[in-house]
A and B are shown apart, each in its own frame.
Chain A
Amino acid sequence: MSDCHGCSVATLPPPPAIPTRRHIVAIVGPPNSGKSTLFNRLTGLRQKVANFPGVTVEHRMGKVKVDGGREVFAVDLPGVYSLEPRTEDERVTHDVLLGQMKDLPKPDAVLLILDSTNLARHLVLAAPVLSLGLPTLVILNMADDLSRRGGGVDVAELSMQLGSPVALVSASRGEGFDKVFQFLAGTTQAAPRTAPMMQLPVIQDIPKCRAWAANVGSKGKYQAPAPPHWTRRLDAVFLHPVAGPLVFGIVVIAVFQSIFFWAKPAMDLLQETITAVGAWVGSLIPNPTLHSLVVDGVFNGVGSVVVFLPQILILFLFIGILEDSGYLARAALIMDRTMSRFGLQGKSFIPLLSAYACAVPAIMATRTIENKRDRIATILIAPFMTCSARLPVYTLLIAAFIPDRRLLGVFLSAGTAVMLGLYAIGFLAAIFTAKLLKSTVLKSSRSSFMLEMPPYRWPTFRSLGLRLVDRSKVFLRRAGTVILAVAIIIWVLANLPVHNGQPPEIGQSIVGMIGHVVEPAIKPLGFNWKIGIGLITSLAAREVIVGTLGTIYGIEDPSAKSAGLQHALQQDLTLGGAVALMVFFAFAMQCMSTIAVVRRETGGWRWPIIQFAYMTGMAYVCAFLVNQAITALF
């Protein structure tokens, strides 16, 4: 907010210029007001995630079809309580609304979305947004909740008071959207705005804004609904001193258990399909060299990674359900004391939890932490959390080396236990590092923790579905680009140099030679040269090692199907080496995207280099100790 907005009552803006380019509508609202649900409802699959240049805040853009086949671009902005640019989130929202964002023209209109069940407080944000003078539709969301809980509002009266059209909708059910589309259709023509009946308050003064909001609310005959009884009832269980942590533990175990058991049938089916398609495509190619490239290189390499799509989707589905239902905030609350013991604040918990899916969005999510030192500490430990890219590596090695035995009846199998153990050591490494950092270079006084507990809500199929589609796209794009390229390069290098028109034995190929060069360094960890190649290629992304090993073992023994990769590893690796490899993957920072995002977030190469060296060193030492211990014991 510029100073003049802060010190004077906002004046009426000039009417917006007649737009000639694409029409942009910004979606603004406080956290938990249902912005994303509204955005998904409006754009459906016609959306993409993007980054503003120079800042790390992710935003989503999508096309909305309005009357007569015209299109409007909707921009989903970060959730804010005010427009005072203090955190990076707020700065982005502020800059976009004022047209100060590079590469994005000033929006033609604003959709201000507020939670109608908490209108008096949410209307506080209306003051600064309306004072911008852009055509604004005030959307009161959760209309179904409001009426069910006995609340109500006079839309016409409120609209008069605010001087802007008001729509009462339920974004999750898609009710009341006529008015939204009508408004959006109107933004393609210049629409004059009427003056608000209530003079807008001085917007930096929160008590005054709140009083203004209460006044507007009461003039708009706003009836606050009864408290959310179901939320209270659920909290009586989820935040119960005994039942709460118990439920938390069960949720965590259930998630990991289902990653294995639910995903298995889908993975088997996918595996069979890929093998069948590979064989069929192979049968069409008479040239033996080309045949080997397609079947051994592409299908074994890329296929062995694509198989893990169901597992990753199930993980994202669970994280989506936990986040959309509101349980994640309770989990953060339960975990706060544990986090604070290691010098972190509760707010670090949510980025760290999403790091279980992927470290890149997690590191971006740290921007909500105001304290710079806390933020860097969280960024540095986030890659220790077991991201979904480690899953293929763990699953492959567990399936090959850990006997399928039940430990606690049907509830826990040996494989799940090892998997949980790997998640645990990642977490322990993270908190150990946090403690180390916070008691040395990143020392700071304890910072505050404030977290709003949203009411529990049913996650919508639409939002969950869109998340999964999004994630599948990211995963398959990577499989189609990075992993495909690595698979082809590995195949080529494994078939060179050519002697008398014949490809060399794999140990004599360029890949073999590189592998043998690095082998002495990794031998103490129990790895052979093929794993060494896998480690090198996995610097691009962790799951690439599975593709690489698929290619290498596929060339070595063309009769082996991808399921044969487990077999080949059992022949080629000791138990010590296999466990050491899992431990290595638990700690090492093998991910170019993460390194890039850390560099961008911390503003230099210093932290990513320290982080890479620290994590790789830790991975090497721990893998060495594990291999030596297991070899000595068995």
Chain B
Amino acid sequence: MVYSGDGVNAQLQLAIKSWYSKSLTLQLFQLDTWFEMQTAVKKAHQAKHNPEATNLTELKHGESGILDRLDLPEDDARRLMELGFLPGHAITPGHSAPGGDPRVFRVDGSEVALRRETARRLILRSARLK
């Protein structure tokens, strides 16, 4: 009897343990799904090319544009090109500082923060101009 009592006890502990770990994985799983959903929503938008935008500041969240030229002094333009802002590359706006300026832009595998005044000078290939 003593042994079986111990057995019940052990079973109970096992059950509690498995419930605990299950609920933990469940929580983690849910958190993960939530994140996945968040990114999935963004991903769906990311692909959306916006041919109307003429410069980076006109791109809305989840839109992308193709860089046409950098309307900046030589030094700044070179620096930006080294960071990945090359004509022909797709650019997507990301998060920003509170107030929307500066904003992070995703380009060529990197994320680079630019002030609004700089972003305005990065001209996109626009349908409107053609």
Number of interface residues of B (CB under 8 A): 35
Residues facing B in A31-55 (CB within 8 A) are none
Q: Are B86 and A206 in contact (CB under 8 A)?
A: yes
Q: What 1/0 flags go to B59-86 for Cβ under 8 Å of A?
A: 0000000000000100110111111101
Q: Which of B11-19, B49-57, B106-114 contacts its partner?
A: B106-114
Given A121-B84, A233-B35, A239-B96, A449 and B102 contact (CB-CB distance below 8 Å)? yes
Contact residues in B for A453 (Cβ distance below 8 Å) = 104, 110-113
A477 within 8 A of partner (CB) = no
Q: Are A210 and B86 in contact (CB under 8 A)?
A: yes
Q: Are A120 and B104 in contact (CB under 8 A)?
A: no
Alpha-carbon gap, A135 to B81, bound state (A): 28
Contact residues in B for A120 (Cβ distance below 8 Å) = 108-109
Alpha-carbon gap, A352 to B42, bound state (A): 35
Alpha-carbon gap, A420 to B117, bound state (A): 34
Q: Are B113 and A333 in contact (CB under 8 A)?
A: yes
B5 within 8 A of partner (CB) = no
CB proximity of B82 to chain A, nearest CB, Å: 4
Q: Are A233 and B39 in contact (CB under 8 A)?
A: yes
Q: Are B38 and A452 in contact (CB under 8 A)?
A: no
A-side binding surface: helix, strand, loop or mixed?
A: helix
CB proximity of B67 to chain A, nearest CB, Å: 11
CB proximity of A87 to chain B, nearest CB, Å: 9
Contact residues in B for A232 (Cβ distance below 8 Å) = 39, 42
Residues facing B in A240-266 (CB within 8 A) are 240-242, 244-245
B118 within 8 A of partner (CB) = yes
A446 within 8 A of partner (CB) = yes
Contact residues in A for B87 (Cβ distance below 8 Å) = 207
Q: Are A450 and B95 in contact (CB under 8 A)?
A: no
Q: What 1/0 flags go to B18-36 for Cβ under 8 Å of A?
A: 0000000000000000010
Alpha-carbon gap, A86 to B75, bound state (A): 9
Contact residues in B for A121 (Cβ distance below 8 Å) = 84, 108-110
Given A236-B38, A450-B80, A118 and B96 contact (CB-CB distance below 8 Å)? no
Q: What 1/0 flags go to A223-234 for Cβ under 8 Å of B?
A: 010000100110
Alpha-carbon gap, A318 to B96, bound state (A): 24
Alpha-carbon gap, A334 to B98, bound state (A): 7
Contact residues in B for A236 (Cβ distance below 8 Å) = 38, 95
CB proximity of B37 to chain A, nearest CB, Å: 12
Contact residues in A for B112 (Cβ distance below 8 Å) = 450-453
The size class of the interface chain A forms with chain B is 35 or more
Closest to A238 in B: B95
Alpha-carbon gap, A236 to B82, bound state (A): 26
Alpha-carbon gap, A234 to B95, bound state (A): 11
A547 within 8 A of partner (CB) = no
CB proximity of B110 to chain A, nearest CB, Å: 6
Alpha-carbon gap, A242 to B96, bound state (A): 11
Q: Are A450 and B110 in contact (CB under 8 A)?
A: no
Contact residues in A for B104 (Cβ distance below 8 Å) = 235, 239, 333, 453
Q: Are A337 and B109 in contact (CB under 8 A)?
A: no
A475 within 8 A of partner (CB) = no
Residues facing A in B84-107 (CB within 8 A) are 84, 86-87, 94-99, 101-102, 104
Alpha-carbon gap, A425 to B113, bound state (A): 29
CB proximity of A29 to chain B, nearest CB, Å: 14
A81 within 8 A of partner (CB) = yes
Contact residues in B for A449 (Cβ distance below 8 Å) = 102, 113-115, 118
Residue positions of B touching A, CB distance < 8 A: 35, 38-39, 42, 72, 75-76, 78-84, 86-87, 94-99, 101-102, 104, 108-115, 117-118
21 A-B pairs with C-beta separation under 8 A: A86-B78, A118-B109, A124-B82, A207-B81, A210-B108, A233-B39, A235-B95, A239-B96, A239-B97, A239-B104, A241-B98, A244-B97, A244-B98, A333-B96, A333-B102, A335-B97, A336-B97, A336-B115, A346-B113, A449-B118, A453-B104
Residue positions of A touching B, CB distance < 8 A: 81-82, 84, 86, 117-118, 120-121, 124, 206-207, 210, 224, 229, 232-233, 235-236, 239-242, 244-245, 329, 333-337, 340, 346, 370, 446, 448-453
8 closest A-B pairs by beta carbon, nearest first, are A239-B95, A81-B82, A453-B111, A118-B109, A206-B81, A451-B113, A449-B115, A448-B118
